[in-house]
Amino acid sequence: MSDMDASDQPPAKPSFVPSRRDLLIGGACLAVAGTTYARMPRRRLASIPTGRLEKLAPDVIGDWRFEMASGIVLPPPDDLARLLYDQQVTRAYVSEKHPPIMLVMAYGSSQGGMLQVHRPEICYPASGFRLSRTRTETLAIGGGREIPVRAFTATGDTRVEQVMYWTRIADDLPTSWTSQRIAIMESNLKGSVPDGLLVRLSTLVDQVAPARVALETFARAMLDTVGPLGRRQLLGSGVA
């Protein structure tokens, strides 16, 4: 029997020889993968330890004293809010010289952009309030320094609230959803997971001007009362 003809031989498997272009593309992919891994956020920037948030709302703030923690507009309780916020504080303060002030603070040690859930523009309408246009304003905190705040009027069936609030993401004080997302992404690119804090002040005054005076006075008194560490936790290290 004769040997198998050459034509009957199984075809040889072609060998793959990567071209220079293939090597360049592969190297670029590895570089991107390495950069992505290196930039994955690993370090948490939690600045308010468990139980510390309540200390930022002492019983006496300037001319105001703590009275109760009820009757304050809050977002509907749900599992998502419980996951997003490590600590929450709600307090109402009264004064013989000024209108009463309601204080709400919500803190999350790991922010992925969901502080939006607790924004007043969301929780007030959910409680039946109609909102005016939200304004971006500045709050003078002493020493020639200012911070950006948001303010609006919330009108319900039985009361009118003047609201002022600020949000802190790591050391930034964003005034919009977009700037909040940018602050989170910038922190992520530095390898960090930022924390997030919302501070909301409100008062039951119909007119904007006198309400604004009361809210600003309370805010400055609170920042003075909590000391340097408390100011950094409320405002970040950039302006505190």
Higher pLDDT, 228 or 84: 228
Q: Is 173 helix (H, G, I), strand (E, B) or coil?
A: coil
pTM for this predicted structure:
0.78
For residue 185, what are the contacts with CB-CB under 8 A and spacing of at least 6? none
Any idea where the domains of the chain sit in the sequence? Answer: 43-235
Q: Is 51 helix (H, G, I), strand (E, B) or coil?
A: coil
pLDDT the model gives residue 17 = 52
Domain spanning 43-235: CATH 3.30.519: no
d(CA 153, CA 146): 22
| Per-residue pLDDT tens over the stretch 12-46 | 544 445 555 544 444 444 443 344 334 445 555 66
Nearest Cα to 139, choosing from 61, 218, 73, 229?
Answer: 218
d(CA 108, CA 150): 20
pLDDT, mean of residues 136-165: 96
Sorting pLDDT into bands at 50, 70 and 90, what band is 216? very high
Nearest Cα to 173, choosing from 140, 144, 150, 201?
Answer: 150
